[in-house]
Structure 1
Amino acid sequence: MISAERQSLLNAELAAATSRAAFLTAMHHVRSVFSLEHFSLFSVPTPNETLLGPHVLETTLPAELLRDFDRNKLLQKCPVIDRIWKSMLPVTWSLPPGESRRDINCPPLMRDLMQRFKLLMGISFPVNSIDGSRYFFSFDGTRAPFSQIEINELGMIVLQAFDVFDRLRRNELSGPSPLSARELEVVRWTAQGKTSVEIGQILSLSDHTVNAYMTNAIKKLDCVNRTQLVAKAIRLKLIS
């Protein structure tokens, strides 16, 4: 399939997405067509932050990889994030060095982590929301580095993908809260650093009940852990 036809078909599939599930299905198709193993969408951290996990909006990356990335405090050392802070241009990387003129200097600990999870190349596209919020799409895998034609094509598809995501995000913001009043209380106290036992004491609930509310909230907001739940609840303005 020629590049223009492929781009048109993928853009049409994305444009037709009216739900988060349909959007993810279309993004999986994009990933597959470009022979990539993973795709992710992140909000851009501020330069003084140290954790990437709270900024994960969608990803197919292994949870263990993200956990080890944050445990080793790699955000401040990540050359991809550094480029995204400084520029709106796509950032490409590949391992081992020398395979592409667009290589970046990867810290040894981060290089080892990428190799352990068989992520040998990738590309990230910074994007801006109409409200000024910054995000970036990342695609990772084991294929050969991208040609400039492929970068241009995928970049146009990313613009369509973000337009769809941003529309869905704004629809979520304008809708009623998906969390119950009690679930919101639990999430608010979690955002303030309280443990389940402490929240139970504040709300006169058992820690088991608090954990049940937390689990329900995580499922409702399609998150993987408490950190992502709090970040998403803040982003959706469910809590402040």
Structure 2
Amino acid sequence: MKELNEQAERREADAGALLEIDPASVRTEYELLHLMRRLIKRYDFAHFLIARLPLADEQRFSERLVLSNWPAELVRQYDAGETFQASVLVERLRQTKLPVAGGAELLEPALKGAGKAPVRHLQPHPDMARHFAVLLHTTYGEPFVAVLSGRRDEPKGVERATLYLTLVQLFECLERTFDAGTAVREKLSSREIECLRWAAAGKSSDEIAIILGISAYTVGSYFKSATRKLDAVNRMQAIARAMRMKLI
């Protein structure tokens, strides 16, 4: 019992330190990923995700993800199943402002037969037996869901409240990266974005030149300017940053 109490006190103390972070100091998704990994480690969770709350059935699960360390194979299965938008978790989050916690049933379809491949028929992940989720909103009201998954028991009392507040603060940091992405989008020209988009699709500079009807030299100049604007060191990093910022 003493060990459990000490563990709970440690979690609360660590989360309290996170609450003192200045959101303005977190400028990139990489920094936020580091904070999320620290959070789940200190609270004994194994996985996390932050995703846009489903608003339309046609959007794939992977397209809603903003930050996540879910196993890639599991994400692919959810894409194929198309059940996340109809899950018990999403339905419960729409009906409350309080955190939602539970077991694997949260990710099953709320209605029998929803989706093409019900989540309960998928191979369960051993480190995702239980979930803790909160509904979050941007300054402009866009809904997001943050989910922490692992084997540990449901957070309760002060720990539950502190964890919720920590997620709210970290989400505020994430929203600032959205603003940064908007600013970069305004700086990038439409041609620069097109070149990055085609490069992300696996096209070479020569192929992009043919597609856009411009010279390969011009394509190269667009890549150089886009790389500079994205504060990247090379083309591949520029593409990766543009994808993380949802620019392409």
Please confirm whether the aligned pair reaches a TM-score higher than 0.5, indicating the same fold. yes
Greater radius of gyration (CA): 2
- 1:9 is aligned to 2:21: no
Tell me the residue number matched to 1:32.
41
- Paired with 2:22 and 2:134, the residues of 1 have a C-alpha distance of 17
Residue 130 (structure 2) aligned to one of 114, 121, 124: 121
Residue 110 (structure 1) aligned to one of 111, 114, 119: 119
1:157 CA drift (Å): 0.7
Q: Give the conservation status (yes or no) of the 8 Å contact 1:94–1:145.
A: no
- 1:221 is aligned to 2:242: yes
Kindly provide the amino acid, as one letter, of the partner of residue 6 in structure 1: D
1:83-102 equivalences in 2 (<5 Å): 83-95=92-104
- 1:68 is aligned to 2:77: yes
Kindly provide the amino acid, as one letter, of the partner of residue 16 in structure 2: S
1:151 CA drift (Å): 2.1
Q: Give the conservation status (yes or no) of the 8 Å contact 1:179–1:220.
A: no
- Paired with 2:15 and 2:60, the residues of 1 have a C-alpha distance of 34
1:118 CA drift (Å): 3.6
Residue 158 (structure 1) aligned to one of 167, 180, 187: 167
Moved more, 171-180 or 64-73: 171-180
- Paired with 2:196 and 2:93, the residues of 1 have a C-alpha distance of 30
Tell me the residue number matched to 2:229.
none
**Structure 1, unaligned stretches of length 5 or more?**
96-102, 224-228, 235-240
1:62 CA drift (Å): 1.3
- Calculate the TM-score normalised by the size of structure 1: 0.71
SS at match of 1:115: coil
- Paired with 2:107 and 2:74, the residues of 1 have a C-alpha distance of 19
1:148 CA drift (Å): 4.0
Residue 142 (structure 1) aligned to one of 151, 156, 161: 151
SS at match of 2:124: helix
1:69 CA drift (Å): 0.3
Kindly provide the amino acid, as one letter, of the partner of residue 108 in structure 2: C
1:181 CA drift (Å): 4.8
Q: Give the conservation status (yes or no) of the 8 Å contact 1:50–1:75.
A: no
- Paired with 1:128 and 1:233, the residues of 2 have a C-alpha distance of 21
- Paired with 1:52 and 1:105, the residues of 2 have a C-alpha distance of 12
- Paired with 1:48 and 1:126, the residues of 2 have a C-alpha distance of 19
Instruction: Give the RMSD, CA atoms, in angstroms.
Output: 3.6
- Calculate the TM-score normalised by the size of structure 2: 0.69
- Number of matched pairs: 213
- Paired with 1:123 and 1:58, the residues of 2 have a C-alpha distance of 16
Q: Give the conservation status (yes or no) of the 8 Å contact 2:89–2:107.
A: no
1:171 CA drift (Å): 3.1
SS at match of 1:66: helix
User: What are the superposed Cα offsets for residues 149-173 of structure 1, whole Å, 9 maximum, x if unpaired?
Assistant: 4322210111111122222322332
- Paired with 2:58 and 2:132, the residues of 1 have a C-alpha distance of 22
1:195 CA drift (Å): 10
Q: Give the conservation status (yes or no) of the 8 Å contact 1:183–1:217.
A: no
- 1:78 is aligned to 2:69: no
**Structure 2, unaligned stretches of length 5 or more?**
1-5, 110-116, 224-234
